[in-house]
Structure 1
């Protein structure tokens, strides 16, 4: 089969790979019908060394079940499924608490010997607990929005839920990538009255306004923080959703949050040191939360509006390329020519 691999920073190749096969009785094989490139793929795209490559690519997909292991029930050949970016058994104490990313029997695609989703097919461990079966007669026009349930919509929603966004709330979203824009959508759907989007790419921030942002701030650093405070009577917003993962975004989050507020981080951190002392978080009673989104816990809640067409998170997928064009997709996203690229077989 064909699959995408990253050999080192900037070097992505689509090549022949071993066919996906059942290895455990809890596995399933899924033929991928839609996948995409994630903003988090750009981190290794900038930093991966040749000593650490090649690594398989991709962790978001829709697909058709081709085969199931002997211990998998509730799924059969031909089912259309969406997979969270983390596989899990959906039965352990952590899964029952909605923390599928902490499942002791779980893990992540494209690491630890598990293949990536930018491929023709994939082996899904813990398939019964991981895969979410979708209606067979779903309109093909909905596939991009359904694909966002694998990661970016659920991650944006996780940011808002962890921040306990509620009706009438004030929220700042840092980052105008796909996750940041869907954090805007999620905050608005949870009832936020003011949603300030911090981003400087007009095509993206225009989409953020369509998703419900009330204000856009293009400035960064201290200037951006000052703009947030100017819009909020000098106090900042109660919730700040950080969807970037770089240290300057974290510093802006500290500056934009009001006393007693919450900073919710879902951008994969690309730094180890971050202030959490008296002047940053302790003194103003600020809560720091976030983490990798257990998106499997949110699919039941988010799916009905997607199927009904009352929300369209798939608008963040603004370019479509084939599997063979994954290297072009990575370049387009890295150069800000595309927000998020949809990959077809």
Structure 2
């Protein structure tokens, strides 16, 4: 099969790789029909040390079940499925508490030798608990929106849920990437009426407005903080959904959150230290939450709206490439020429 590997910063290659095979009776093999490039994939694209053995890439995919292990129930060959970006058994105590990213038998694609989703096929561990059967086919117009359920939609929703967004809360979303835009959509779904989107790319912030943003703040840093505070009578917003991961975004979050408020961070952290001291969080009673989204916990809740066409999170995709063109997709996203790239093997 063909699969994507990263050999160092900026060095993405699509190469021949061994076909995946069943290794455990809880495995399944999925033939991938849609995948995508995530904003978090750009972090190793910027700083991964060079190596002679490439790292498999990709953690978002839809596809058909081709083989099933002897202990997998509820699935059959030919089922069309989606997989969250973390696999899980969906039965352990953490999964039952909605923390599938902490599953005792779980893990992540592309880590520890696991194959990546930017490929023609993949081995899925814990297939019974991970894969979600979809009542559509390969030709469905809903595939882009269904693909967002593997990560970015669930991650944006996780940010809003962890912040306990509701009709009484005001919201600032930091970041106009796919996760930030879907955090806007999620905050609106949870009833927020005032949603400030901090982003400076007009074509993206326009999608944000259509998803529910009431105000756009293109300024960054202290200027952006002052603008948000001006819009909120000087006090900031009850909740801040930080969808970037850089220190500058965290500092803006601290600057715009209201006393007693919540900062919910789902952007992949790209720093080792953060000023979590008395003056920044402890003094004004601010809560810090977030983390890797247990996407599997939200799929049953979010899937009906997508299938019924009530929401269109797939609008975040603005470019599609074939598998061999994945390196071009990375470059396009890195140069901000594309918001989110879908891959069609």
TM-score (norm: length of structure 2): 0.99
Q: Within 5 Å, which residues of 2 pair with 1:27-176?
A: 27-51=27-51, 53-137=53-137, 140-176=140-176
Q: How far apart, in 1, do the equivalents of 2:192 and 2:279 lie?
A: 27
Deviation sequence 1:44-76 (CA, Å, 0-9, x none)? 000011138510010000010000001000000
Q: 1:332 to 1:3 in 2, by over 3 A?
A: same
CA contact (8 A) 1:169 1:192 kept: yes
Partner of 1:313: 313
Q: How far apart, in 2, do the equivalents of 1:298 and 1:215 lie?
A: 27
CA contact (8 A) 1:5 1:54 kept: yes
Q: How far apart, in 1, do the equivalents of 2:152 and 2:52 lie?
A: 26
Q: Within 5 Å, which residues of 2 pair with 1:220-239?
A: 220-239=220-239
| Alpha-carbon shift at residue 167 of structure 1 (Å) | 1.0
Q: 2:149 aligns to what SS in structure 1?
A: helix
Q: 2:161 aligns to what SS in structure 1?
A: helix
Q: How far apart, in 2, do the equivalents of 1:324 and 1:129 lie?
A: 31
Partner of 2:207: 207
| Alpha-carbon shift at residue 138 of structure 1 (Å) | 7.7
Q: 1:142 to 1:136 in 2, by over 3 A?
A: closer
The answer for unaligned runs of 5 or more in structure 1 is: none
| Alpha-carbon shift at residue 5 of structure 1 (Å) | 0.5
Q: 2:307 aligns to what SS in structure 1?
A: helix
How much is the aligned-residue C-alpha RMSD, in angstroms?
0.9
CA contact (8 A) 1:8 1:53 kept: no
Q: 1:141 aligns to what SS in structure 2?
A: coil
| Alpha-carbon shift at residue 169 of structure 1 (Å) | 1.8
TM-score (norm: length of structure 1): 0.99
The answer for unaligned runs of 5 or more in structure 2 is: none
Q: 2:259 aligns to what SS in structure 1?
A: strand
| Alpha-carbon shift at residue 168 of structure 1 (Å) | 3.1
Partner of 1:15: 15
Q: Within 5 Å, which residues of 2 pair with 1:321-336?
A: 321-336=321-336
| Alpha-carbon shift at residue 212 of structure 1 (Å) | 0.5
Partner of 1:258: 258
Q: How far apart, in 1, do the equivalents of 2:143 and 2:51 lie?
A: 37
Q: How far apart, in 2, do the equivalents of 1:254 and 1:69 lie?
A: 48
Q: 2:115 aligns to what SS in structure 1?
A: coil
Deviation sequence 1:62-94 (CA, Å, 0-9, x none)? 010000001000000000101000000000000
Q: 1:53 to 1:178 in 2, by over 3 A?
A: farther
Ranges of 4+ aligned residues in structure 1 off by more than 2 Å: 136-139
Question: Which shows bigger deviation, 149-158 or 269-278?
Answer: 269-278
| Alpha-carbon shift at residue 140 of structure 1 (Å) | 1.2
| Alpha-carbon shift at residue 149 of structure 1 (Å) | 0.2
CA contact (8 A) 2:32 2:121 kept: yes
Q: How far apart, in 2, do the equivalents of 1:297 and 1:87 lie?
A: 12
